[in-house]
Structure formats: structure tokens, C-alpha cells
Chains A and B, each alone.
Chain A
Amino acid sequence: MRKVKKDKQLNTILEECLERILVNGETVAQCLERYPEYAAELEPLLQTAMITSEAVDIQPSPEFKARARFELRVEMARADEKKRRSVFAWQPRWAVVVVTVVVVVLLGGGTVLAADSDNTIPGNPLYAVKLATENVRLALSSSDISKAEIYAALVDRRVAEIERLIDRGKTELAQRTVNRLKRYLATMSRLSLAIQSQIGPGAEDVETVTPDEPSVKPAVSVQEVAATVRAEERAQLQVLWGRYIVNHPDEIRAMLEEASPAVKPALTRAIIDSVNSYVNSYQNVLQKLKESQSSGQTDDTSDQEADDSSGEPDTSNQQTNDSDREPGTSNQQSGNSNQQPGDSSLTPDASDLQSTTIK
């Protein structure tokens, strides 16, 4: 009984000492002086706690932090734009839901779900179903930007499959998957070229997506809104493609080498323009961050008009209350699409981006 009581006291004293040391900067010796009767038991515990605390004193690299801030701002702008667009796009969304349900029923829901997983690789009988579901997803995507996002996610999927096939010594299947991967990259380049032709001369005047991008003003016509959305979409796709180029230089180099002479100059130009867009939006973000740091926070409530009730159903509350929930994958696909293990050395350095624009 006395031991239980002593243990309880020790739990509390250990926590009090840790708080004093970790938060208030006291030393281990000072804490031991406070509780001489517990010193023998406390000392080894506090020493271990100190070693632990020092070992975890790590920080993400500044390059990663700068890139992460930029990407968050872009994603926040995109999320808001998506909500704005959903006000005008209810009809196509219903159509998409109906078509998706029909396709899933036709193909057999359980089979589709099983096939559409990372474990289904070339050589697996369900792999054809996986490719079919990807094609359905592409066919149902309503815009260039969503197509590009899907392609970026598919590129990552194929890379993961190639790694697993090579691990298993299935070189022929790996080569076939490499060829498929190249076709995706070529499609992404075509998307980029299409944007160039849509934007035409004066492309440099198109605003890239920035964190404080103004929201659509009220009392404008549907046509004006649609035009704004198109311009934003094109600019976003250009930034997305630029980010992909920066993160995957080897694939881009290989694609350029294989491109026909007739396409090569235009493709090169498209790549350079996209990288410049990416760099420019990066610079804008860094600039705005600097400004906000030097002049304090600005009050931007313009995005409050985003329609709360029309957004996607929000299940995060349930998720955060249930540690054993099923994972949601949609966010992971889009957010993680351009990162591969080992890519960190290829990502732009914040200081380089501040001063570099490709000519």
C-alpha cells in the first residue's frame, strides 16, 4: 500500500521536475535538491529524460520548410477555389456520381476496390481492373488540372510498381511499366503544350496562384466567373507541371531526348515557362511571408464567402475520434503525388528560387 502511494508521488514529482527542466530551464541538480528523499530514484529517470529530450531536438531542413509553406498556400488556394467552383458545377457533379455508380456496379464493386490497391502490380490478374479504374477516373475528370493531378498520382503508382517488380526480378514486366510511365509523361507534356497555346502571347501576364489570391467578387456574371476560373486553372496546372519538372529532372531529360525534333523546341519552351511559373509563385509566397512577418498579420476574410454547406461531407471528426478508422486516400494521392523517397535533394533550394528565373 505504501509502495503504491510512493509510486504515485514519484509519478507526480517526476512530471513536476520534467516541467521545470524542459519548460523553465532548471537543472537536474536543482530538481534533486527539491526532493532529496527521492533523489536516488529520480536522478536516473531525469538523466534518461534529458537524453531523450536532446535526441529528439531535431528540426526540418529550411528548404523543406520553405517548400512546405509554399505548397500549403497553393493547396489552401486550390481548396477555396474548388468550393467556389462547386456552386456552379452541381449538375456535372451529379452526372459524375451517377456514371461512377454505374461503372462500379458494372465492374463489381468489391473486385474494383481490391484491384485498385498498391498491392496489385503487373502480373496480378486484377491488374487490368486496376488500370480500368484509373482510366475511368481519367475519363470522369472534368478539367485539365484534375487530369494532371491524376496523371501525377499515376506516375507515382507506376514508379512504386516498377520498384516492386525489380525487387522480384520481373524485369520484362518492369520494362513494360516503364513504357507506360513514359506515355503518362508524354501526356503531361501535351497538357502543358495545350496550356501554352490557350494562354498564347502574353502568358507571362497570367497570374500564378498565390496565397492571398483575391476571391471572386460578388455581383459578377457567370461568364466572368467561368473566365476567371479558366485562367486560374491554367495557371495552377502550369505551376503543378513546373513543380513536377523540378522534382523529376531525370524523367524530363529522358522525355526531351526521346521527343521528335518537330516538338522539341515547343516542349522545351513549355518546360521553361512552367518552371518559371513555379519559381514565380514560390517567390511571391516568400515575399508575402516576409511582408507579413515585417508588418504583422493582415485581416483577410474575403474567402469567408466560400460556401460551407455545399462542400464535401466532412468526416474528419469521426476520423480523429477513431484510431482504427479506415484510411482516406484521396488527400494522400493529391498531396503526395510528386514526392518520391530520395527526392529531397532535387527539390529547389529556397535561396536559389529567390534569385533564379530560367530564361
Chain B
Amino acid sequence: MQDEQGLVRQAQQGDKDAFAELYEAYFDKIYRYVVIKIGNKVEAEDMTQQIFLKAYQSIRSYKWKGVPFSAWLFRIAHNQIVDFFRKQSKRPTVRLEDVVVVSSDNPLRTVESRFDIERLRTATLQLTSAQQEVISLRFAGGLAIAEVARTMGKSEGAVKALQHSAVAALRKVLLVGEESEER
């Protein structure tokens, strides 16, 4: 991909192809972030689309000033998710098991992964909101620690500590889940 800062500048001047390149670079990351946060495939697809439309409409207002484009984009995603939970009604939902998993060619592994993502989402719900955010941004969104820090408005040290506590808490929850399944 061309230099991100250059692409953003071109997109701000109305270059659709530049925006399309940014879109391609971040589409899967944003989708994963949304799926893990809301756990609904259909809503996640719609929301991913909304996030990029919003980003296109407001890209002129984006200023570097030390905030990476990724942090700005994930901030939009975060706000959309906050809106979603505010407006959520009793509509039927599509479970995470319908999400395509591509980590392996082995069908058995795929079934295992399906199980894992659902269990992972359930487990993350037991973490604090800051821990959930770190897991979602770092692992689903694929952001580096510095980008997570900018997105969350925290220092890198604080995010490293949060990541440590989040992974430790997640392990505890998963272990408890496994024990209760064995009984």
C-alpha cells in the first residue's frame, strides 16, 4: 500500500481511488472488530459499511496531529457500536456460528474455531469494558499497542498493563468455562 498519510491526504482532496485503498486496507480489520463487539453477522456487515461511509463523509475533518488514521477510523467504529447498543431492539439476531472462519483448511479445525469465537465473545463480556476494548482493538482490529493507546486516549504503558490484565482475566474465564463443561 502507498504511504498511508499520502493516501489520506489524497482522499481528503476527493480522490476516490485513494479512499478505496484505505478501505481495502482496513475493511477486514473493522469487520472483525465489529463482529467481536456485537456478535451478529448481519448487523456487523451493515455497520462496517456504515463506518466507511461515515469515514468518507467526514474525512476532510480528519487532522493528523499525532492521531493515526487507524485510531480515527476505529474511533468512528466505536461510536457506531455505542449507538447500536443504544438503539438495539428485540430484533432476531444471527449467531456468531454463521460467521465464515478462514484460519484453516481442516474442517475439524474450522468447527473448533467456530466454537472458540462464540466462547471468546461470551468470555470477553465478563471483562471490564476497558479490557474488552483492548482485546477487540489489539486482536480483532489488529492494531499495534501505540494505535490502541491513541484510539483509547491512554498511554502506551497503561494499555500494556490493560492488555496483561485482560489476557489474564480471559484465561481465568475460559478455564472456569472449561471446568464447568467437563462436569
Closest residue on chain B to residue A304 by CB atoms: B14
1/0 per residue, CB under 8 A from B, across A267-304: the answer is: 00000000000000000000000001000011111011
Q: Mark A75-86, 1 if CB is under 8 A from B, else 0.
A: 110011000000
Q: Tell me which residues across on chain A come within 8 A of B161, comparing CB atoms.
A: 7-8, 11
Interface hit among A57-65, A175-183, A196-204, A248-256: A57-65
| Closest chain A CB from B174 CB (angstroms) | 7
CB of A187, distance to nearest CB on chain B (Å): 24
Asked if B35 CB lies within 8 Å of chain A CBs, one says yes
The contact of B15 among A71, A167, A301, by CB within 8 Å, is A301
A303 to B19, CA, bound (A): 13
Does the CB pair A49–B167 fall under 8 Å? yes
In the complex, which range does the number of interface residues on chain A fall in? 35 or more
Check A75–B100 contact: CB distance below 8 A: no
* Closest chain B CB from A304 CB (angstroms): 5
Are A14 and B160 within 8 A (Cβ)?
Answer: yes
Q: When the two chains form their complex, are residues B17 and A51 in contact, meaning their CB atoms are under 8 A apart?
A: no
Asked if A343 and B42 make an inter-chain contact with CB atoms under 8 angstroms apart, the answer reads: yes
Q: In the complex, what residue of chain B is closest to A298 when comparing beta carbons? A: B17
Chain A-chain B contacts (Cβ-Cβ < 8 Å), number: 206
Contacting residues of chain B (137-163) with chain A, CB-CB under 8 angstroms: 138-140, 144-145, 157, 160-161, 163
**Is the pair B57, A48 in contact by a Cβ cutoff of 8 Å?**
no
Residue of B nearest to A163 (CB): B91
What A residues does B174 contact at CB under 8 A? 48, 51
When the two chains form their complex, are residues A60 and B31 in contact, meaning their CB atoms are under 8 A apart? yes
**Which of chain A's residues have a CB closer than 8 A to the CB of B157?**
8, 11
Per a CB cutoff under 8 Å, which of B52, B62, B116, B164 touches A72?
A: B52
**B103 partner, pick from A57, A298, A303, beta carbons under 8 A:** A57
> Could you tell me the distance in whole angstroms from the C-beta of B75 to the nearest C-beta in chain A?
4
How far is it, in angstroms, between the C-alpha of A335 and the C-alpha of B46 when the chains are bound?
8
What B residues does A212 contact at CB under 8 A?
16
Instruction: Decide if A221 is an interface residue (CB 8 Å cutoff).
Output: no
Interface positions of B from 44 to 97, Cβ below 8 Å from A: 45-46, 48-50, 52-54, 56-58, 60-63, 72, 75-76, 78-79, 82-83, 86-87, 89-94
Does A53 sit within 8 A of B, measured CB to CB? Answer: yes
* Interface residue B4 (Cβ < 8 Å from any Cβ of A): no
A59–B139 touching, CB < 8 Å:
no
Asked if residues B76 and A58 are in contact (CB atoms below 8 Å), the reply is no
Cα–Cα, bound, A45→B167 (Å): 6
- The docked-state distance in angstroms from the alpha carbon of A23 to that of B60 is 31
B102 touches A76 (CB 8 A): no
- Choose among A163, A317, A342 the residue that contacts B61 (Cβ–Cβ < 8 A): A317
- Residues of B contacting A65 in the complex (Cβ-Cβ under 8 angstroms): 27
Q: B60 near A314 (CB under 8 angstroms)?
A: yes
Binds B, one of A135-143, A144-152, A257-265, A324-332: A324-332
Please name the residue on chain A nearest to B102 by beta carbon.
A59
A340: chain B residues within 8 A (beta carbon): 42
A12, B133: Cα distance in complex, Å: 19
| Contacts known (A54-B113, A55-B120, A56-B140); A301 close to B79, Cβ less than 8 A | no
Contact of B56 among A10, A61, A75, A327 (CB under 8 A): A75
Separation in Å of the B66 CB from the closest CB of chain A? 14
Is residue B8 within 8 Å, beta carbon to beta carbon, of the partner chain?
A: no
Q: Which of B56, B58, B63, B100 is the one whose CB lies under 8 Å from A76?
A: B56
Q: Are A71 and B49 in contact (CB under 8 A)?
A: yes
C-alpha spacing A194/B49, complex, angstroms: 30
| Across the A-B interface, the 10 shortest Cβ-Cβ residue pairs | A316-B58, A327-B83, A55-B116, A11-B160, A48-B171, A57-B103, A303-B14, A317-B61, A56-B140, A55-B120
A sample of 4 more A-B contacts (CB under 8 A), given A18-B163, A163-B92, A335-B53, is: A57-B101, A75-B56, A118-B87, A301-B14
6 contacts between A and B (CB under 8 A): A49-B139, A52-B135, A52-B167, A71-B49, A299-B15, A332-B50
